[in-house]
Amino acid sequence: MAVVDEADAPVREERQVAENVVLDVRDLRMRYGTTDVLTGVNFIARTGEVVALLGPNGAGKTTTIEILEGFRMRSAGDLSVLGVDPARGDENWRARLGVVLQSWRDHGRWRVRELLEHLGLYYGPYSTDRILRPWNADELIEVVGLTEHAHKKISRLSGGQRRRLDVAIGIVGRPELLFLDEPTAGFDPEARREFHDVVHRLADENTTILLTTHDLDEAEKLADRILILAGGTIIADGSADELARRMSTEAEVKWTVDGQRFVHSTLDATGFVRELFVKHDTAVADLEVRRASLEDVYMVMVKEFESGRRDAAIHEFEGVHP
């Protein structure tokens, strides 16, 4: 495991305060036996930023998150989470984090309000530049949409209600950094929209959020930046729009002229629309331009990356076995 020199700690703290860097991940590596799961992950996240970590199953998303949370020791790399190496995080450091796991299976005999009130007792003001106090239990219950179920035993909650409670448990301490692992799994559409409002509210209050999800539409709506993890490394980093512009994916243009509907795919939507108006002027109606969605970009990037790895493996094999 890589260890940060204690003498460098003040320098690291100063850099993070100056740049508002909450997460600083450099050359993160993880090996299980002879298998390399993470081969050099690099990224940062700043105060109030919502970052989505995407990738196919087995890409190493959960391993990355667990290392950043301090629950798993890394093989190598230089990490700073809220100015601290997560391998050395103490209780005060952990109090500044929030974690929403995919599911909880404990506390079934507790009632919703009493559990959140009890958990809130573990949080309080601590010595940082940002003095936080836990949520008021009733306010938090309202935020996650469980007011009508506040007195209900947790074992009696439905799946969607239990998921809302999972979110409440994760944010009860008003964390500076929040890890969300598939947070809306089991949510109905209304609950999902309400949860998105909670995420935006937390970000507005300068909570940094690292989100993992298989719902690419959700990631596109919530995240300021998208990280795509594949083959143990980050293969793309940017906003959904920035990633779309990097890909040579076609945009779909739809329009109507004299009541007739047309559809055309093009790599240069702006130029095509300009020519369309030169040709038809005000006769153009109902114009729509659909650019590549995050899902389109994600699929292309992962496919191209995997194809490149296969080509490299074949080339290496042919070099060894002429």
pLDDT (mean) for 61-70: 94
Q: What tokens appear for 306 in the block?
A: 């995997």
Min mean pLDDT across 7-16, 18-27, 139-148, 287-296 is at 7-16
pLDDT score recorded for residue 23: 96
pLDDT exceeds 50 at position 150: yes
Strands 225-230 and 50-54: parallel
Nearest to 162 by CA among 177, 145, 178: 145
Nearest to 198 by CA among 170, 156, 224: 170
The domain ranges of the chain are 243-320
Q: What is the pLDDT of residue 2?
A: 41
The torsion angle over the Cα atoms of residues 9, 15, 21 and 25, rounded to 10 degrees, is -50
What's the Rg (C-alpha) of the chain?
Answer: 23
Short-list 198, 75, 60, CA closest to 142: 198
Cα distance between residue 214 and residue 61, in whole Å: 11
pLDDT in tens, 195-235: 888 889 889 989 999 999 888 888 998 999 999 999 899 99
- Give 192's strand partners: none
Distances 162 to 22, 98, 199, 210, 211 between C-alpha atoms, Å:
29, 17, 18, 21, 19
Rounded to 5 degrees, φ, ψ at 81 are -120, 110
Torsion over CA: 79, 84, 90, 93 (sign): negative
Q: Is the pLDDT of residue 286 over 60?
A: yes
Q: What backbone torsions phi and psi does residue 157 show, to the nearest 5 degrees? A: -75, 150
